[in-house]
Amino acid sequence: MEKWMINLHAINTRGVEDRWGCTKCRCDLYNVTTDDDGQPLPPGYQGGLQCCTDNTQCRLKNGHKGYNRTVYLKYTVEWVDWDSSIILVKIYIPDMTDIVKISNGPNGLNVTHNCQIEYDIDCCNTTQKHYSGCIDVKKTSFPMIKGCYVIYSVAHQHAGGLGSTLYGQDGRVTCTSLPKYGTGKRAGNEKGYIVGMTTCHPQPDSAKIMDGETLTLVSDYSNRELHTGLMGLFYFLLAEQL
């Protein structure tokens, strides 16, 4: 059995007090102090998915009543007849917050992941060593047990993102994905927001990942201001054979 799912997160910023704070899901602007189960938020949790749950409303300007709007999603599904030349691909989504643990098991290496999905970045006046030039650079590494070919890849970042790169074990660049920022007011070109990311479509035989190779993911963000609920994901499609 197959299931289709669309993960859509919409934040209405019309009439709000702090547009950027709302998009960063700051808890104080949503007046949220507990999670979906009614438990207090973790100590020091300033913003993120737990404060942007369904039907929450970001703080409005004084005297503003807000807007109610119904939106619809329209999409088209296409298919082709099955053919022996069609190669199946697998979807991998490495996460910058992932804590990877590797252990030996009876059938080889066991790899466990502990993805946190989101993270915060303080302003660049901090004294922490990993801040340089108001650019926050985060890295994570993970092993690929079985070799494969990279067919397509793209990063996912929030406003403030400067790009993300996936490296092979020998330091080669598998893909660099850069954000495109909007410059206007029309939908799809909103000023200050990331409206797209560049993608990589390597020739099938030019981006090979070897058995057991360790990949490194690097995500760069501008930290000239506080960011909460950031993400550093990297989507790529892999074929085990050509």
What pLDDT was estimated at residue 171?
92
pLDDT 10s digit of each residue in the chain, 242 long?
778 788 788 888 888 999 889 999 999 999 988 888 888 998 889 999 899 888 888 999 988 877 777 888 888 989 889 888 888 899 999 998 888 777 777 776 677 778 888 989 888 865 555 545 788 999 998 888 888 999 999 999 999 999 999 999 999 999 999 999 999 988 889 898 999 999 999 887 788 999 889 999 999 999 888 889 899 999 999 998 87
What pLDDT was estimated at residue 131?
47
First to last CA, the chain: 26
CB 11 within 8 A of CB 48: no
Which H helix or E strand runs over 109?
A: strand 108-112
From residue 39, how far is each of 114, 216, 229 by CA, in Å?
Answer: 21, 35, 19
Distance (Å, whole) CA 51 – CA 25? 6
What pLDDT was estimated at residue 132?
55
Q: Give the domain ranges of the chain.
A: 1-79, 90-239
What pLDDT was estimated at residue 9?
81
What pLDDT was estimated at residue 134?
85
Distance (Å, whole) CA 229 – CA 144? 27
The CATH code belonging to domain 90-239 is 2.60.120
